[in-house]
Amino acid sequence: MNYEILGSFLVASMLLTIMPGPDIIYVLVQSMTNGKKYGIATSLGLVSGIIIHTSLVAFGVSALIKQSENIYFAIKLFGALYLLYLAYLTFKSDEELVLNEKADRKSLLKLFKQGFIMNVLNPKVSIFFLAFFPGFLYSSSQSTVVQFYVLGGLFMLQALVIFSLVSLLSGNFAFYLKTHPTFNSKIKWFKIIVFAGIAVFILFSS
């Protein structure tokens, strides 16, 4: 077992999770309008959906990897190119991060279900995991299915911790976004660097 690869995966996952996007903004809005525990309920729902995407990728990609080393390399190459494509899209994008503080009040269970459904029904998550996970397989002896579930579990754990912190510190985050108008341009380049950096790591990892 290569703990350095697992460590690299955890760092990369955390960098990806803290990028402002629909999920983390949704958690932030629910926390601000309904309360911190509602944000955490939303976080639990979003994170639970990762199990479905991990399963799809684990069983699908593991079967392909077993066939040949060339297929494994092709999957890693796809992953690196896809992440570079995301970096390019981010570079070309003019989108701004807008915090809409209006949200309907829902029960904790309803927010959990909504977070779960939002994640499961987003096909981009499965595509992203397909691009991201194979480059971080950490063992030549352990089953690839098990390795994918370990990676999925680590991704879920760090995402839950970060989303929960966003919920608990929602007021601070909202104040920062409102008082730092240049945040959008900074986060844009942060995203580009993270996507490109992970792509290079995946492409050249052994």
Extract the residue ranges of the chain whose pLDDT is less than 70.
Answer: 95-104, 181, 184, 206
Q: Please, is 103 exposed, middle or buried when counting C-beta atoms within 10 Å of its C-beta (0-12, 13-18, 19+)?
A: middle
- pLDDT, tens digit, 9 for 90 and up, residues 159-170: 999 999 999 998
pLDDT digits (tens, 9 = 90+) for 68-92: 888 888 988 999 999 999 999 988 8
Domain boundaries, the chain: 3-204
pLDDT at 198: 93
